[in-house]
Every structure is written in C-alpha cells, then in structure tokens.
Amino acid sequence: KAGVTQTPRYLIKTRGQQVTLSCSPISGHRSVSWYQQTPGQGLQFLFEYFSETQRNKGNFPGRFSGRQFSNSRSEMNVSTLELGDSALYLCASSLDSHTGELFFGEGSRLTVL
Amino acid sequence: DAKTTQPTSMDCAEGRAANLPCNHSTISGNEYVYWYRQIHSQGPQYIIHGLKNNETNEMASLIITEDRKSSTLILPHATLRDTAVYYCIVRVMKTSYDKVIFGPGTSLSVIP
C-alpha cells in the first residue's frame, strides 16, 4: 500500500510569507503527527492530530498551526515566516494502537530567504 | 515525559555486530522504547520497539534491562547501508494523546 505522502517536497519562501504543507497518511491510519528537523535542534515534535482533533502540541509559537480533515489528511501552516523556520518538516502516521509504529514521509524541505 | 541519552557517534566494522546503547532512566511503566533510523535526507524508518521484554525482528534485536532504565539496539551483521543516525525514542501512548520525544540520536558509521 502507498506510504505517507508529503507535498511539496521542496519549496522556497521569503521572510514574512506563509506556507502550507500537506500530508496524506497511509490508508486507515487516523493519527498524524508533524515534526521539524533542523541541524541545530534535531527532530522536534510539532503537533499530533487524531480524528480531526489536535491531541498534543510541542513548544512552538502560534505561527505554527495545523489541521486534520475527515479523511485523515493533514495540513500544517506556518505564518509570518522567519529565517529560522528553514527546516525539513516531517509527517508521520500511525494506526493509533498502543503499539503502533510511526510511518514517516520523506518530508517537505522549506527554505526561507 | 522520559528523555533519552545516546552517544553522539559510533563506528562499526562491516560484518560485525553494532551495539547502540540508550539510557532512559526516567521511563515510566506505560512508555515503550522505539528505535528509528534516518539515512541522510530521508524520513526516519522504524526498526523495532519493546516494552519490557527483549525483541527481535528481521532487522535488529532490542535488549531492555530489567529495570527498563536502558536498552541496546543490536544490528547483528552491520553493512555499509546501515550507516545512518539512530534514534532511541520513548513513546508515550495514552488515550488522550500520542507524543513522541526524539533523543539526540547516534550517528553510526559502518566502516569497510
């Protein structure tokens, strides 16, 4: 079956703009989580959604937001982009069982100029 | 939530077993230990997970100490393709939320 799909794979924005990233989970997976990866901070948890509800959020400013649709697809949005937002944004899905592993997409690489 | 500590980097000779340690001294009873690896510029890949018993699959073995404060990932016969960053993760799974805290990771270099 198809894996986790993230779009776009690469994008370039300028400071002050906003960006929307999309994630399509594996069919049947209801939990979607987002991570930011930078060379300096490593992999950091952004937020997790289940059945269109945000269940948990990491320590990121309010400029970072997300949502999940009824088909479990998820989007994240970053407004008023800053240079430090340049990163690889990873999405992962899981079955939400108590032992379910996370399946990661290949990520969306955002560059802010 | 428990945190993990791992060595920053390790080397392993090709064909030998790679033993990657992880400390999670504040782990609680309902937290699982997961291992993932990330090859450069790709998304992390699931390797194995466990709660309290040792586990083995086609990729690796996971040894968890009896007190659950540490674990070791074993790649029995390392190949060059195993060169990657390995993340030891303590995963909190409760009915109200699912949160993953990534450790710093160990950069494993498999040497010919």
Residue B32 has pLDDT above 80, yes or no: yes
Q: Average of pLDDT values for B2-23?
A: 94
CB count in 10 Å sphere of residue A80: 11
pLDDT 10s digits, A82-106: 999 999 999 999 886 555 688 999 9
Percentage of chain B modeled with pLDDT above 90: 69
Q: What are phi and psi of B41, to 5 degrees?
A: 70, 10
Cβ within 8 Å of residue A95, ≥6 positions away: A28, A29, A30, A31
Separation of alpha carbons A102 and A31, rounded Å: 9
* Interchain contact A44–B (C-beta under 8 A): yes
* Interchain contact A45–B (C-beta under 8 A): yes
Percentage of chain A modeled with pLDDT above 70: 95
Range in A57-66, A96-105, B26-35, B50-59 the model is least confident about: A96-105
Q: Average of pLDDT values for B50-59?
A: 92
* Interchain contact A104–B (C-beta under 8 A): yes
Contact A99 B36 (CB under 8 A): no
Q: How high is the pLDDT of residue A97? A: 56
Closest chain A residue by Cα to residue B92: A98
Separation of alpha carbons B102 and B87, rounded Å: 7
- In SS3 terms, chain B reads as CCCCECCCEEEEECCCCEEEEEECCCCCCCEEEEEEEECCCCCCEEEEEECCCCEECCCCEEEECCCCCEEEEEECCCCHHHCEEEEEEEEEECCCCEEEEECCCEEEEEEC
Q: Is A107 left (phi over 0), alpha (psi -120 to 50) or beta?
A: left
- Residues of chain B found within 8 Å of residue A96, distances taken between Cβ atoms: 98
- Binned at pLDDT 50, 70 and 90, residue A4 comes out as very high
Nearest to B98 among A48, A90, A106 (CB): A48
Contact B49 A99 (CB under 8 A): yes
Q: How high is the pLDDT of residue B6? A: 95
- Binned at pLDDT 50, 70 and 90, residue A41 comes out as confident
pLDDT 10s digits, B62-76: 999 999 999 999 999
Nearest to A104 among B41, B44, B105 (CB): B44
SS3 state of residue A77: strand
Separation of alpha carbons A52 and A30, rounded Å: 9
Q: For A83, which DSSP code?
A: G
Residue A44 has pLDDT above 70, yes or no: yes
pLDDT 10s digits, B75-94: 999 999 999 999 998 876 66
